[in-house]
Amino acid sequence: MNTKTLSRGAIAIAVAVALSAGYVAGTRHTDPQIIPSAQAAALMPAEAAAKTGIPDFSGLVETYGPAVVNISAKHVVKQVSQRQSMQQLPIDPSDPFYQFFRHFYGQFPGQGGGDDGGSQGDQPSASLGSGFIISPDGYILTNAHVVDGANVVTVKLTDKREYRAKVVGADKQSDVAVLKISAANLPTVKIGDPSQSKVGQWVVAIGSPYGFDNTVTSGIISAKSRSLPEENYTPFIQTDVPVNPGNSGGPLFNLQGEVIGINSMIYSQTGGFQGLSFAIPINEAMKVKDDLVKTGHVSRGRLGVAVQGLNQTLADSFGLGKPNGALVSSVDPGGPAAKAGLQAGDVILAVNGTQISDSTDLPSMIAGIKPGSKADLQVWRDKAKKDIAVTIGALTDAKAASNDTQAQEQGRLGVAVRPLTPQEKSGASLSHGLLVQQSSGPAASAGIQPGDVILAVNGRPVSSPDQLRDMIAKAGNSIALLIQRDSAQIFVPVDLG
């Protein structure tokens, strides 16, 4: 994320303190004890809030600020011309999804000469980020994207000491990296437990936004266990703490002065902070750290399924009272789930006795299981619970012809379909299915599109238009269609009215 300008504006802040009815962090203090500000500053924010009615973060910053470091990562990149750079831009940069969940760190490419604003050749660049010391002998946590591809990594402490850092390991899937500097008796942070934090509690970030070392910002926890696009294995902590390019890799503190997360991403349509920031829970990061220090890589479990969330309509179609669990939309052939007998349409309710309230819980839960070990799954199939034992696999980083057949209209559903040709089945690796040629009514309202392939109705495979018509005629007011769109399978709830 490139920084273009630095603007300065006046900010008016109005602070009103109603001591007689002050609610702080969800606790009412009818008669707070007034203590001198100097004494309050020595307290952790939670203590200061309890005694004064207002959190005071100065004690936290004084105690743990020295353990937060500035990280400079130097790269050698191929400089391209301005014309070539413009040709590489997305078609619609104004699309909100273009900026969605961008990793944030400042990057300052070297400027090349030439008539077109840039020249070919290797040019140095540097990215700035943050990190924090977790052991007195120099182990540091940061984001993997801060040091990705770096030739030289430099760590600067608050007392101006600088060290050349070694990248012990970096895990792109979790965006966690471990650095090591040769030093002793260093200040360290205190590691907390994110599971004990609550939405609405105060949190503090310390980092180097835009290179301004040891900058402190505060806010509240906005949500927990947030699932983000293309980030399947991390249940992010969402906050409204102001974070910007350069904050990436810095710590997120709770009121007790404990680190509960690593600031990693923001939602932004402009490249700057817009009220939505996301942190990696520190317990997840510490697991990654342990693997990186011991083996240099991270071992994760793999089940071999694609899952989606449930809403009430889908839950009703499967006979579930509540939309809890992870709905299996497809099973990888030959994968651990397939070998154990899992099927598309199963709803995974629990893993090793731990309930799954949302589909976003499953990926991180499975990833935390050691490959080769057994896991007991409780699934919902045919309106009944079923126990399935599966041997968890190892997760790795890698991962149409025309036909004259007349389409038949399925009036109640609102689709015109035809069977797949042998060539279409072979090309899509399908054994059955109906190609949607037209969509209207309930199907269109549910998002069914021409080109989709209907594979099953309420978990039952369908291979002919007549079979589909019979299923729809016997269905209740809602059904779940398993469709394949492009290379992905997904259940779509359809309200038949």
pLDDT tens-digit series, residues 443-458: 888 888 888 999 999 8
Domain 57-298 in CATH 2.60.40.10? The answer is no
pLDDT, mean of residues 379-389: 94
> Among 3.40.50.1110, 2.30.42.10, 3.40.462.40, 3.40.140.80, what is the CATH number of 408-495?
2.30.42.10
Q: What percent of the chain has pLDDT over 70?
A: 75
Q: Is 125 helix (H, G, I), strand (E, B) or coil?
A: strand
Enter the tokens of residue 174.
């979790």
Q: Give 306-333 pLDDT, tens digit per residue.
A: 888 888 988 998 899 899 999 998 888 8
Cα–Cα distance between 236 and 264 in angstroms, integer? 9
* Among the listed residues 200, 172, 196, 213, the one whose alpha carbon sits nearest the alpha carbon of residue 259: 196
Q: What is the pLDDT of residue 194?
A: 95
Q: How confident is the model at residue 264 (pLDDT cuts 50, 70, 90)?
A: very high
Parse the chain into domains and list their residue ranges.
15-55, 57-298, 302-394, 408-495
Predicted pLDDT at 84: 43
Question: Known binder of ligand: residue 246?
Answer: yes
pLDDT in tens, 330-350: 888 888 999 999 998 999 999
Q: Which of 289, 269, 281, 332 is nearest to 134 (CA)?
A: 289
- What's the pLDDT at 107? 42
Residue-level pLDDT at 454: 93
Per-residue confidence band for 405, with pLDDT thresholds at 50, 70 and 90: very low
**pLDDT per position as a tens digit, 33-58:** 444 555 555 566 777 666 766 788 99
Active site residues: 145, 175, 248
pLDDT-derived band at 407 (thresholds 50, 70, 90) equals very low
pLDDT at position 29: 40
- Contact between 470 and 479 under an 8 Å Cβ cutoff? The reply is no
pTM (whole model) above 0.75? no
Residue 229: pLDDT band with limits 50, 70, 90: low
* pLDDT at site 123: 54
Residue of 273 and 290 predicted with greater confidence: 290
The yes-or-no verdict on residue 478 having pLDDT over 80 is yes
pLDDT at residue 253 is higher than 50: yes
Rg over CA atoms, the chain: 27
- Does 358 carry a binding-site annotation? no
Is 408-495 the same fold as 302-394? yes
Residue 175 annotated as part of some ligand binding site: yes
What lies within 8 Å, CB to CB, of 19 at 6+ separation is: 29, 32, 53
Distance, in Å, from the CA atom of 56 to the CA atom of 63, rounded to the nearest integer, reads 13
- pLDDT band at 195; cut points 50, 70, 90: very high
Residue 248 marked as a ligand binder: yes
The top-scoring range by mean pLDDT among 38-42, 73-77, 266-270 is: 266-270
Confidence tier at 223 by pLDDT (50, 70, 90): very high
CA atoms within 13 A on the CB side of 476: 11
Q: Which CATH superfamily is domain 302-394 in?
A: PDZ domain (2.30.42.10)
